[in-house]
Amino acid sequence: MRVLTPAEVLFEGEAPPAVLPACDHYAGSEKLMLKSLALQQQLGPVFDITLDCEDGAQVGREAEHAELVASLLGSEHDRFGRVGVRIHDFAHTHWRDDVRLILRAAKRAPAYITLPKIRNVHDAAEMIAFIEATRRELGITQPVPVQLLVETHGALTRVFELAALPGVEALSFGLMDFVSAHDGAIPDTAMRSPGQFDHPLVRRAKLEISAACHAYGKVPSHNVSTEVRDMSVVANDAQRARNEFGYTRMWSIHPAQIEAIVAAFAPRDEEIATATEILLAAQSAHWGPTRHGDTLHDRASYRYYWSVLRRAQSTGRAVPQEATPLFAQVGANGQSVA
């Protein structure tokens, strides 16, 4: 009997929930883009880089900025293929040109395209359809995943419908725009910690986005931390986002934040060791119930421990050598391949 892997047996024929690098780092100027790309080459693909065409482009020079972004995608600076782009919002006249210019000129399609200031499901669906039609027209083989930025009242009221849209892989929370949209009803203290985790309306928004993502197997991406000097504040923000609100990814706006965020989202060594022991025992038992210490386990808990190992791998943590067979893929002939 062939040994089955967690991905084959724990999700009943469905694809496992998406796992993306824990940190999404934003860069808007050419200098910051190149600095971020150099850091990614140093640290590895444990974080994504989003090249920003929305806030990064000067008014009247949107096309020039999109061409700059396109020139970096697939270049010698883009080693891992984990570089995405944020285009202009639906109300801006240049968003279609952003898509055309970038997909036409880039040597490699972006890892994802982020759509900001989503106001309703119709606008998001139209933008997604345009991206899909353009990539087909240009002969790009694989679909380009889309990430939606939830920062308006309209988006929050339809967040479950947005998460259900085909082509969407993640929803991000735009904290500061969301607070500003309340016209002073939420104090500015809710734009930073600890207020961002305490104000009821902000807590509700964070939880709704996270719940919608987990309901549809998408990635919830937490808003930025505005602290750029004390990295313990950033680390604490990331830990609270992960442990209290269920986020599996977080934005960075300063290079110093990246390692703090990745470390906060990574599982601890003892978690990795426990997950490995439980899953190897489960695999040996052909995924029937097992006992680990004084605790019984079955497929429900196996799914949790598999998420621990996948998270470890995505954050660059060492996974025990004996866990390698758990990550084997199944080839077209039905045989497991590394």
CA dihedral 313, 316, 322, 325 (to 10 degrees): 30
User: Which positions ≥6 away from 184 have C-beta within 8 Å?
Assistant: none
| Residue 177 annotated as part of some ligand binding site | yes
CB 159 within 8 A of CB 208: yes
SS3 assignment, position 61:
coil
Closest CA to 20 of 199, 185, 218: 218
CA distances from 62 to 56, 66, 75, 226, 271 (A): 9, 6, 21, 26, 46
CB 152 within 8 A of CB 186: no
| Residue 86 annotated as part of some ligand binding site | yes
Spatial separation of the C-alpha atoms in residues 64 and 228, rounded to whole Å:
29
State the binding site for substrate: 86, 151
Which residues define the annotated binding site?
Answer: 86, 151, 177
Residues making up the annotated binding site for Mg(2+) are 151, 177
